[in-house]
Amino acid sequence: MPNLELTRVQELSSFRRLAIGSWQTAYDPNVYGSMDVRMDAALAYIEAFRARTGKRLTVTHLIAKAIADALAKCPDANAILRWNRIYLRKTIDISILVVQTDEGAHKADLAACKVNEADKKSLYQLAAEIEEQVQRVRERKDEAMEQGKRTTNLIPLLFMNAFLKLLSFLMYTVNLDLRWAGVPRDPFGSATITNLGSLGLDTGYVPLVPYTRVPLFLAPGMVRETPVIDNGQIVVGKMMRLSATFDHRFIDGFHASVLSKIVHAYLEKPFEHLDRIESLPAASS
């Protein structure tokens, strides 16, 4: 008689296979934090942006631009560890996790869309590029990404830990370009955003993924109506909890404070820090 009655799951998504190969031990450098952000102005900005341009804009786009500019102002946090030494990245590239749901029941997958040099692009440019990539990824037209998934699906689960360690070592420690082997060049970048609000969650903390070497994960939750104090009066405000996970080996409380203040300012005062609405391209009638 076994201790547990178990049934083995036969079919696994690409993400689930990668997750099994990523984490082995309980000790890690993860540090978690969160802040509550008043989102009334951000939602008003999104509405004004859409009305002016006719283009889709989301909270995720705002956060992507905010963290890109924050890393530009705090370059010590835009780094990676190689041979136990800290190396600063020369560009600020932001990735966004996208859910792919067309692989069949119980087999939803995750993929990443990355925007290179996000700090050098306007919000309008950034949002347009993200939307183009998201559509391509969801339609499975990103050949480099699909090739990478096919490659990982060939690796037996018994060897997945070793495979991901080797892949990470070659890509980041040795710093080899493995596009010839079907592996996208630095697919995750400086920071990664995963929108938990789209899943109906208020709060969530995302673990660092060792093989990606991304030191910063941001997880915005669902925007909710909450009583807030406004000019001494209790009113209903739109609030969102933004959670973050960072690698404490080289991002400390000082860096987190600088980054959080900038992101907070961008979200609470978007009309001051983001593209001027009147300067955006007008939607064609």
CATH of the domain at 52: 3.30.559.10
In the prediction, which pLDDT does 3 show?
A: 40
Residue type, 246: F
Q: Which domain holds residue 66?
A: 29-141+186-276
In the prediction, which pLDDT does 107 show?
A: 64
In angstroms, rounded to a whole number, what is the distance separating the alpha carbons of residues 191 and 242? 14
Strand partners, 152: none
Tens of pLDDT, residues 29-64: 788 999 999 999 999 999 999 999 999 999 999 999
In angstroms, rounded to a whole number, what is the distance separating the alpha carbons of residues 250 and 75? 12
Would you put residue 104 in left (φ > 0), alpha (ψ -120 to 50) or beta? left
DSSP 250: T
Domain assignment present for residue 128? The answer is: yes
In angstroms, rounded to a whole number, what is the distance separating the alpha carbons of residues 46 and 49? 5
Phi–psi pair at 153, nearest 5 degrees? -70, -20
Domain assignment present for residue 90? The answer is: yes
CB 34 within 8 A of CB 244: yes
Residues of the chain with pLDDT under 50: 3-4, 6
Domain assignment present for residue 216? The answer is: yes
Phi–psi pair at 263, nearest 5 degrees? -60, -40
In the prediction, which pLDDT does 234 show?
A: 92
In angstroms, rounded to a whole number, what is the distance separating the alpha carbons of residues 105 and 102? 8
Q: Give me the number of domains the chain comprises.
A: 1
Strand partners, 267: none
Phi–psi pair at 204, nearest 5 degrees? -165, 150
Q: In what helix (H) or strand (E) does residue 14 lie, and over which residues does it extend?
A: helix 14-22
In angstroms, rounded to a whole number, what is the distance separating the alpha carbons of residues 285 and 283? 6
CA torsion sign for 146, 148, 151, 152 is negative
CB 74 within 8 A of CB 84: no
Q: Assign 29 to helix, strand or coil.
A: coil
In angstroms, rounded to a whole number, what is the distance separating the alpha carbons of residues 72 and 142? 28
Domain assignment present for residue 236? The answer is: yes
Domain assignment present for residue 16? The answer is: no
The two structure tokens encoding residue 31: 């540090």
The two structure tokens encoding residue 41: 């102005």
